C-alpha cells in the first residue's frame, strides 16, 4: 500500500504541475503583468511563500518552463531593464555597450521609468 500511495501522490503532483503550467500560460496570454504578479504573490496561509518559490523548491518542470516564469524571473533579476531590451533591434544596440565595457550603456539601453 505504501508503494501504491507513493505512485498515487506522484501522479497527482504531476497532474497539478501540468494544470498549474496550463493555467499560468492562459493567464500570461490574457495579461502578462498580472500573470507575473500572480507568481510573486505571497500566500499568508502557507507562511507568505510565493508560487514561484514553491515551483523552484519542488523543481516543477512544467511551471519552470513557461514563458511567464521566465519573464517573472527576468523582472526580478533585472528590475531596471525595459521589456524593449529583448527585441532584436535592442540586442544589436547592446553590442557597442559590450565592446566599450558598458561605457555606452546609458546611451543605448533603455531603462524603466520610475513608477509612482
Contact by Cβ (8 Å): 80, 48: no
Strand-pair partners of 7 = none
- Are residue 90 and residue 38 in the same domain, yes or no? no
For the CA atoms of 96, 101, 103, 106, what is the dihedral angle to 10 degrees? 70
- Are residue 71 and residue 97 in the same domain, yes or no? no
- Are residue 84 and residue 73 in the same domain, yes or no? no
- Are residue 62 and residue 112 in the same domain, yes or no? no
3: which 3 cell numbers? 508503494
- Are residue 10 and residue 66 in the same domain, yes or no? yes
pLDDT tens across 42-77, in order?
A: 887 878 888 888 888 888 888 888 898 888 888 877
- Are residue 28 and residue 85 in the same domain, yes or no? no
Quote the number of domains for the chain.
Answer: 2
- For the whole model, what pTM was predicted? 0.58
- Are residue 70 and residue 114 in the same domain, yes or no? no
Higher pLDDT, 92 or 84: 92
- Are residue 55 and residue 103 in the same domain, yes or no? no
pLDDT at 5: 92
Mean pLDDT, rounded, of the chain: 78
pLDDT at 89: 59
- Are residue 72 and residue 103 in the same domain, yes or no? no
104: which 3 cell numbers? 555606452
Amino acid at each position: 500500500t505504501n508503494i501504491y500511495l507513493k505512485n498515487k501522490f506522484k501522479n497527482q503532483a504531476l497532474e497539478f504541475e501540468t494544470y498549474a503550467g496550463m493555467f499560468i500560460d492562459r493567464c500570461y496570454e490574457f495579461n502578462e503583468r498580472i500573470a507575473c504578479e500572480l507568481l510573486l504573490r505571497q500566500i499568508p496561509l502557507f507562511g507568505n511563500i510565493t508560487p514561484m518559490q514553491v515551483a523552484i523548491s519542488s523543481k516543477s518542470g512544467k511551471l519552470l518552463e513557461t514563458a511567464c516564469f521566465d519573464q517573472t524571473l527576468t523582472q526580478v533579476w533585472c528590475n531596471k531593464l525595459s521589456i524593449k531590451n529583448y527585441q532584436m533591434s535592442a540586442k544589436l544596440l547592446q553590442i557597442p555597450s559590450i565592446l566599450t565595457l558598458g561605457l555606452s550603456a546609458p546611451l543605448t539601453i533603455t531603462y524603466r521609468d520610475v513608477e509612482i
